[in-house]
Chains A and B, each alone.
Chain A
């Protein structure tokens, strides 16, 4: 990726009842916000499994945004509290795994708060842009170069047959 202008990719998990409806409202109201987010609609923020968040990062997301109903407003009574607790522990765990704090954000956005969707998304895009790309698929590829190099050498030795294997080894050394 060129350094020209890094465009963050942010995966957003929005609850169907509040935040997704708010994003809909923002759209219907013709509010403009950064186009860097890919929204995934879930029935509840309580459905946001921490695995989803880690998988999003592992597959190339630069940030993950979770949107749910305000405390007390959950359609399923307690889903957003579950989400909040998971968020607290996951945030600490991700920070121990080297993921910067601003890459994961949780916001309560009610169905009426289209303007808040706009503000939160714009803010987050700005913060993640400042952090730069996370690019985990790229990093994993870089880490595994050492394995692929050895694979290639072994294949080369194998193809060369037993007599020439030693010569290959020496020329690589």
Chain B
């Protein structure tokens, strides 16, 4: 083995896009592998959990963990990598704030399992069999399956996280910058999100077309309307998360003529991205009476899904507060 710093990648509840973004380093990945040893990366190299268990505590320089945490296995892997690593980086929106998987926090675990194992039209499961966390087969061998948790969690709700790389997925540029900062020991204070701490509007190519007071009279959904490729989306009456979202993405969606959906999360001064965009958008509605306001707001049919698309785990309420299986005993029953 060499003395190069060791790096691990892991995925929890994720789509694979974050892994893809590492590969998107393209030629630069050759430079990275010159500088570091990748010791664990289930999607790309053949290493097992036992290999990590054998490593000395703190022997990995940095673990980049993507995906939300939904199962007990993901928790265990996060704990294991935490123990073996000097630095843990929450990589991507899901690890940072729950991401798309965290939208499931609007429903109880029981409702999700019932839908998936009993109610989906393509499911044929007359005995209503559900996965069993502990199963003893005919040969008396006990098989353990990870437990499906009550809630979808962000990585920092499960283990101590040193840094966060935001984005769905993070851009290769941010990843390269972060890796260089780590290798050079040139790191900001613990807890920092490794992206600029300004709102996306600040870096938006359409910034100049944003009026002082938009004066919304209606909200249009992007697929209902032909979008002007030059003009601020908010000025077009389309919800854009730019005012409540951190920059650093190079405004890729905006350049593709789609409004921001908020994947970089809030800036450091905002505690709740959804609440902040509610504040921002509502201040600029033209109507001053309840009926007019309601009629304008009817263009936003799903505020939770729109404003917390990537961040329901980190919403101050952490999801729908009554959507949890009633009691411990009923959970046992669903196993």
Contact surface of A with B, Cβ cutoff 8 Å = 46, 49-51, 53-55, 57-58, 71, 81-82, 84-86, 88-90, 92-93, 96-99, 134, 136, 139-140, 142-144, 146-147, 150-151, 154, 158, 162, 173
Contact = CB atoms under 8 A, between A and B. Distances in A.
Given A54-B272, A89-B282, A140 B318 contact: yes
B175 to A, nearest CB: 28
Contacts of B307: 93
Contacts of A151: 79
Interface string B249-281: 000000000000000000000111011101101
Contacts of A96: 106, 302-304, 320
Interface residues of B, number: 51
A143 B304 contact: no
B313 to A, nearest CB: 11
Interface of B: 53, 72, 75-76, 79, 83, 106, 134, 142, 144, 147, 149-151, 153, 157-158, 270-272, 274-276, 278-279, 281-283, 285, 287-290, 293-294, 297, 300, 302-304, 307, 315-324
Given A58-B317, A173-B142, A93 B75 contact: no
Given A51-B279, A55-B271, A85-B287, 17 more contacts: A46-B283, A50-B279, A53-B275, A57-B316, A57-B317, A82-B283, A88-B282, A89-B300, A93-B307, A97-B315, A99-B321, A143-B324, A147-B149, A150-B76, A158-B83, A173-B134, A173-B144
23 contacts: A50-B272, A50-B279, A51-B271, A51-B279, A53-B275, A54-B275, A55-B271, A71-B289, A85-B282, A88-B297, A89-B300, A89-B303, A96-B303, A97-B321, A98-B320, A98-B322, A136-B321, A143-B151, A144-B157, A147-B75, A150-B75, A150-B76, A151-B79
